[in-house]
Structure 1
Amino acid sequence: MRALLVVNPNATTTTERGRDILVRALRSQVDLEVAYTQRKGHGVELARDAARDGFDLVVTLGGDGTVNEAVNGLMTFDAGAAEGRAQERPALAVVPGGSTNVFARALGLPSDWAEGTGAILEALRDRRERIIGLGRADDRYFTFCAGMGLDAEVVRRVDQARHKGSTSTPWLYFRAIAQQYVTTNRRVPLLTLELPGEPARSGLTWMLVQNTAPWTYIGERPVDPNPRASFDTGLDVLGLLQMQVGSTARTMAQLARGSDPKGKQVLRMHDLAGFTLTAAKPIAFQVDGEYLGECDKLDFASVPGALRVVC
């Protein structure tokens, strides 16, 4: 089996020694090549080239951003390949190396890179894999979530802080949430949700889209606003219809406690095949915790049977 290991050298929880151990362990089972990402988007290119060159497996060592880039490379290497035909592209294996590792943990893998390596090696020995569905926002695929509005602005603030030397911690995210909430104009509805054959839902100030559960973690605690979301179903959404101080604080507290968000301002939908989000003006958006800029329209789709995952 030919495999490419895509390594993010800046991954939060790994060291050079740990990477060497991983490489030796993988080479005991597969014909391995190693490539290091050098810039944003490089993981897409590496995974796409591996698929075109006939590799059987792409392994990532990094956080959710590294995984997302590899997934997009695998999904776009052949413009003529059908989205839902997972057998037409290499399998993916994920060794957690980031601060949160939502995708790996959603698959049931350990959050520690060493334990995760052991789980992947066992799965390779047993030839154990799973076919999962993905989400897509325009031409960008995502594994567990996408968002327009509040969460994307928080991700942007966290990215800016990390570029200035801050460490990715739950406290950094809490601080970014508080700062963003204070500066957001809560009186201006921005988003409209359009479903085929249904009246449009307007007046939304934030929209979270999940391809699986949970949405994220606070330390070891999962944050699970749409607990029925699954790799095996369509997309789930959570939207806020307004951002008044009391109602929004109550919703955020419900999320932090791990309980289902409730209230007149909360819009939730399950197992959607596709929909469109439009904004009155360009608004921040993110996929899998990666800030991608601003836009005023996104077409979302569920892509079932998209990818083989070793787990």
Structure 2
Amino acid sequence: MSQRPHIRFIVNPVSGPKSRVDVAARIQLHLDHARYSHDIVYTTHAGHAPELARQAAQEGCAVVVAVGGDGTVNEVARGLLHSQTALAILPKGSGNGLARHLQIPLKLDAALRLINQGSTMLIDSGNINGHAFFTTAGIGFDAYISSVFAGNRKRGLQTYVELVLKEVRTYKHLPVKVSINGNTIATDCFVMAFANAAQYGNNAYIAPMADIRDGLLDVCLVRQLDIRKALNLSYCMLTKQLAHPGSAEYFKTTDVVIETEEPMMYHADGEYVGKSSAFKVYLEPLSLKVVAPLT
């Protein structure tokens, strides 16, 4: 490997609406080659990116760049947890939740120029039932939508919104028992979101007060949802406000345990994971090094 710090780009070739962009050409044009050496590898299947990222960290790469959407970013980040190798992002997805939270430019050329600056910081990561996440995880309706969205050929914000509007009318809340901050709450649950970062993506803020470096999860609980509450919650998510107390409840914690009477779906960073009737969600403080603007 070169004496210059080495950057490995991990590209998901089918990610996002901008999949026709010639990423290699943009890297060649905008990366500072006097400062960094680099190579490019491509994922071939789901679950490939964590393997590639772990290998890059073991080889001593200074930076590994996730080129893709939120799913690709999650996979690459999982492979870099607790390592000295920094995660950088070239956003090519439809949501770009972590990139938006970290104020990484959404245009590839500008994101590459940020990488050239070499500014890094440590951020927290979350874990739900052994699966790492970096923006949000959740159980209930948002996980259900993730499962439906994953099987849809059409991607993007419009498709996601259409699915939400279609499915919200028939999705039913379920009883859960939540252990949080020394208290146990027996309640109905339409959705429970665990936020490390403030937003899902597309500037939809589920937990506008969330700080990705404070060592705490921001938990948003929606017990039941009717039209009035749905409108209030949607408006607040799009305007970066806390929802009215009657629409949602917020908690800050390091960990939470949930038991359900029947298996519930769950997601991590918008990617459907599966079903479970028991959940342990916790935070790992300052466990991932990232390339981001210094603020």
Pair 1:110-2:96 in alignment: no
The aligned runs of 1:14-163 (5 Å cut-off) are: 14-15=19-20, 17-23=22-28, 25-26=30-31, 28=33, 29-75=35-81, 86=82, 88-121=83-116, 123-124=117-118, 128-162=119-153
Question: Whole-Å Cα distance in 1 between the matches of residues 144 and 76 of structure 2?
Answer: 24
Question: Is the Cα–Cα contact under 8 Å of residues 220 and 249 in structure 2 kept in the other structure?
Answer: yes
> Runs of 5+ in structure 1 lacking a partner?
76-85
Bigger drift between 294-303 and 52-61 goes to 52-61
> Runs of 5+ in structure 2 lacking a partner?
none
Count of residue correspondences: 285
Pick from 203, 210, 213 the counterpart of residue 188 of structure 2: 203
Query: Which residue matches 2:260?
Result: 279
Query: Which residue matches 1:79?
Result: none
Query: Which residue matches 2:283?
Result: 302
**Percent pairwise identity:** 25
Query: Which residue matches 1:83?
Result: none
Shift, 1:224, TM fit:
2.1
Question: Whole-Å Cα distance in 2 between the matches of residues 114 and 24 of structure 1?
Answer: 9
Question: Is the Cα–Cα contact under 8 Å of residues 101 and 197 in structure 2 kept in the other structure?
Answer: yes
Question: Whole-Å Cα distance in 1 between the matches of residues 183 and 23 of structure 2?
Answer: 52
Bigger drift between 133-142 and 23-32 goes to 23-32
The aligned runs of 1:155-174 (5 Å cut-off) are: 155-162=146-153, 166=154, 168-174=155-161
Question: Whole-Å Cα distance in 2 between the matches of residues 230 and 292 of structure 1?
Answer: 24
Shift, 1:291, TM fit:
1.1
CA gap 1:105/1:247 in 2 versus in 1, 3 angstroms: closer
Pair 1:227-2:208 in alignment: yes
Question: Whole-Å Cα distance in 1 between the matches of residues 26 and 108 of structure 2?
Answer: 11
Bigger drift between 61-70 and 10-19 goes to 10-19
**Counterpart secondary structure, 1:103:** helix
**Greater percentage in helix:** 1
Give the letter for the 1:8 counterpart: N
Question: Whole-Å Cα distance in 1 between the matches of residues 7 and 23 of structure 2?
Answer: 19
Question: Whole-Å Cα distance in 2 between the matches of residues 190 and 55 of structure 1?
Answer: 47
Pair 1:10-2:10 in alignment: no
**Counterpart secondary structure, 2:225:** coil
Shift, 1:24, TM fit:
5.4
**Counterpart secondary structure, 2:26:** helix
Pair 1:175-2:162 in alignment: yes
Shift, 1:285, TM fit:
1.0
Shift, 1:73, TM fit:
1.2
Query: Which residue matches 1:264?
Result: 246
Question: Is the Cα–Cα contact under 8 Å of residues 49 and 75 in structure 2 kept in the other structure?
Answer: yes
